[in-house]
Chain A
């Protein structure tokens, strides 16, 4: 009897020792949810297509910028503004994917940190020499800076065009837009060459796996990039008084709602595995929850997305006007967005039981 037990124990010991190494041999999936299918769907139908679209939109932005630099008149300014907005909308689909090359080069920090630092921008323009990739310039580059350069450098369009008689302004505008384009190409190129393969195979339940990082990134984006930055902070949810100048695209001041709705759609589509700019859906967190017999949570999350959309739809196009006239509607929209923070961060994370990437200590 005891001998048998020892035999079993030895077999077990050998197993436990071998399992502590990192090599995971090819194995047959049984009941386990197919995480790779989720990553494939997200990479091929969401991340790469939205990056491709952003890249195209930035190319048009560059073309219109070149035209404006050649002839800085009202017509070219309007065209440039239009292409800035269409690129900014697509950006809302890209910002949450702070993974791979994007994470490495701090892509989103160089694309959409607002409020823009007017002092830094003006100082850069004045000096004419700057390192746009430098961390100190994160709030002097990207979409918010272009917003300022196209709408905010003077009181009205005529005055703005006068400003552009100074070639330093044209140079800075040009450099910032070129930089956004090349950063995007760098990220897209990495996806298209090597990172996709790394990404889709990284499904283990470890803090550094793509699957777990992506869940954490998504929730972080929803909570910070969407809920706090777009609505909460300007509505004064984190300060003594409202901060209407903290809205996204403050200088344009008519599109903060448009951009927020795009971001909400992006988050909702990502959760449901809906392909970029298409109605087809694939494997996603929603299907993962279903596979865990948790359709109730999946339905709840989608209801709360709709609820948040409803509240945001009630807002004015200009969030800063909304804040100045009736800020309660802003805080209501914030509360509606907050509901999904709970469902995603607590209920969904518990259901997936992913290793969280930021807590490093022993457990009980």
Chain B
């Protein structure tokens, strides 16, 4: 007993000293600067792109009803002022890139971007979630230590930051990839090549490959398996110096390939730019020298920087605790689906915020029936009266959307003077090429059901099995 106790103490001591030594390690501040600039610029471009496509109006201003995340119903639509919010978000992204009043800028960016994302869960994308949490993480990292307006202003730039602050970003990217890879270890993806078997042949109109490779059965399997392996291995290949160059080429190829095939907006570019963090600090320094020479963003003011500090830029102890808790959460949260019964792809209980990317081809229709409980008189709802096409599409195969919409309808028709309102839904969903099947128990009055984190018993069980994680 005492022997193993001693052994444990020995390990604990060792771990502790390793841990405190690790915390004292320093890294070049150029790495964080490169990530900060890349992130800020990509976000700035994303906001402009979003604005110019008119999506602020179609997604946030025009809809009369918005789907809320559970617990965030207090996030209210701002109407025309949504443009102001986007403007603030864009400006703060630009300030982050410049490193001007960095801490305030990144906090404002995190808050404004996250608020936008919380406005309507119909617009949920994994990569928006990534942006939100990456900007949260950046709040606690000294990304303005070097090559920033803040450094110019305080006439001092730090050449070093704690190593863990750079590793934190690598860890976040690593989690995104690795968890996305784990999620692909399921029988639909690996043994049915679903949904790629549906998606790839539909790209028949891209040149050369469209009518050849995209139609080949073996290619669908090859893409499924290599996609899974890519996601699982890429963080390690990027970390390991000898494979890093090859890995980065793979990152570029993979993301550009997905960019051609799927309408995924800025995400591929964000991941490509983000992955640059894995390179050596000397490469980051070269990049900064290059930017410095070509654009000269600080217009000679750079000479004002009186001293280059070899001292490590100090980081608040609290920031470290926040970052550790943040990662503990990130590592555990995607596994919450394990506590729910039923097939994850079907119920989607625990599906979001878990790096489950492009795993499903899922479509549905949902017809809502408003019944007067006393007279049994009923009528159906035309969803397009209340929802945008995007909202209707998202609502039709996600139980929490269906419940929220049912309550909206119940309240709406009660307010309009209908009595004893009950809300039923007749819905069908098709998943990964299977024939559609009933989705929600149509005998359940959804108006009486409450949203919670508990399992939704009124989801009709999936009549097939998907094995795997």
Residues of A participating in the B interface, judged by any CB pair closer than 8 Å: 1-2, 5-6, 8-9, 12-13, 15-16, 18-20, 24-25, 27-32, 35, 203-206, 228, 232, 236-241, 296-297, 300, 338, 341-343, 345-347, 349-354, 356, 358-364
For the A-B complex with A2-B246, A18-B207 known, give 12 more contacts whose Cβ atoms are closer than 8 Å: A1-B246, A12-B253, A16-B256, A20-B260, A25-B207, A27-B207, A27-B208, A32-B211, A203-B205, A345-B363, A359-B389, A362-B267
Contact status B390-A16, CB under 8 Å: no
User: Which chain A residues lie closer than 8 Å to B207 at the CB level?
Assistant: 18-19, 24-25, 27
Residues of B participating in the A interface, judged by any CB pair closer than 8 Å: 53, 55, 58-59, 123, 125-127, 198-199, 201-208, 210-212, 215-216, 245-246, 249, 252-253, 256-257, 259-260, 262-267, 357-358, 361, 363-365, 367, 377, 379-382, 389-390, 393, 418, 426, 428-430, 433, 435-436
Contact status B379-A238, CB under 8 Å: yes
User: Which chain B residues lie closer than 8 Å to A240 at the CB level?
Assistant: 377, 379, 418
Q: A30-B215, A351-B433, A359-B389 are in contact. Are A345 and B365 (CB under 8 A)?
A: yes
User: Which chain B residues lie closer than 8 Å to A6 at the CB level?
Assistant: 249
User: Which chain B residues lie closer than 8 Å to A24 at the CB level?
Assistant: 205, 207
For the complex formed, measure the closest distance between the CB of A137 and the CB atoms of chain B, giving whole angstroms.
24
18 A–B contacts, CB within 8 A, in A order = A5-B245, A9-B249, A12-B256, A13-B252, A19-B208, A27-B210, A29-B211, A204-B205, A237-B379, A241-B377, A300-B435, A343-B436, A345-B363, A346-B429, A350-B433, A351-B198, A352-B202, A363-B265
Contact status B260-A19, CB under 8 Å: yes
User: Which chain B residues lie closer than 8 Å to A18 at the CB level?
Assistant: 207
Contact status A205-B390, CB under 8 Å: no
Q: CA A338 – CA B377 in complex, angstroms?
A: 19
Pick from A19, A204, A206, A346: contact of B365, CB under 8 Å: A346
Contact status A206-B55, CB under 8 Å: no
User: Which chain A residues lie closer than 8 Å to B252 at the CB level?
Assistant: 9, 13
Pick from B127, B204, B380: contact of A205, CB under 8 Å: B204
User: Which chain A residues lie closer than 8 Å to B418 at the CB level?
Assistant: 240
Closest Cβ neighbor of B246 among chain A residues: A5
Q: Which 4 A-B pairs have the closest CB atoms?
A: A362-B265, A31-B215, A353-B202, A204-B205
For the complex formed, measure the closest distance between the CB of B186 and the CB atoms of chain A, giving whole angstroms.
17
Q: CA A330 – CA B176 in complex, angstroms?
A: 53
Contact status B430-A32, CB under 8 Å: no
For the complex formed, measure the closest distance between the CB of B203 and the CB atoms of chain A, giving whole angstroms.
7
Contact status B202-A362, CB under 8 Å: no
Q: A28-B211, A30-B211, A362-B265 are in contact. Are A205 and B202 (CB under 8 A)?
A: yes
Contact status B59-A353, CB under 8 Å: no
Contact status A2-B245, CB under 8 Å: yes
Q: CA A203 – CA B381 in complex, angstroms?
A: 34
Contact status B430-A350, CB under 8 Å: yes
Q: CA A352 – CA B377 in complex, angstroms?
A: 38
Contact status A359-B390, CB under 8 Å: yes
For the complex formed, measure the closest distance between the CB of A153 and the CB atoms of chain B, giving whole angstroms.
32
Contact status B363-A363, CB under 8 Å: no
Q: CA A361 – CA B388 in complex, angstroms?
A: 12
For the complex formed, measure the closest distance between the CB of A11 and the CB atoms of chain B, giving whole angstroms.
10
Contact status B58-A360, CB under 8 Å: yes
Contact status B361-A364, CB under 8 Å: no
Contact status A361-B55, CB under 8 Å: yes
Contact status B357-A364, CB under 8 Å: yes
User: Which chain A residues lie closer than 8 Å to B264 at the CB level?
Assistant: 362-364
Q: CA A137 – CA B353 in complex, angstroms?
A: 51
For the complex formed, measure the closest distance between the CB of A316 and the CB atoms of chain B, giving whole angstroms.
22
For the complex formed, measure the closest distance between the CB of A319 and the CB atoms of chain B, giving whole angstroms.
17
Contact status B436-A354, CB under 8 Å: no
User: Which chain A residues lie closer than 8 Å to B367 at the CB level?
Assistant: 338
Closest Cβ neighbor of B428 among chain A residues: A342
User: Which chain B residues lie closer than 8 Å to A364 at the CB level?
Assistant: 125-127, 264, 357-358
Contact status B253-A19, CB under 8 Å: no
Q: A30-B215, A342-B428 are in contact. Are A16 and B260 (CB under 8 A)?
A: yes
Q: CA A352 – CA B253 in complex, angstroms?
A: 27
For the complex formed, measure the closest distance between the CB of B19 and the CB atoms of chain A, giving whole angstroms.
36
Q: A16-B256, A346-B365, A364-B357 are in contact. Are A354 and B202 (CB under 8 A)?
A: yes
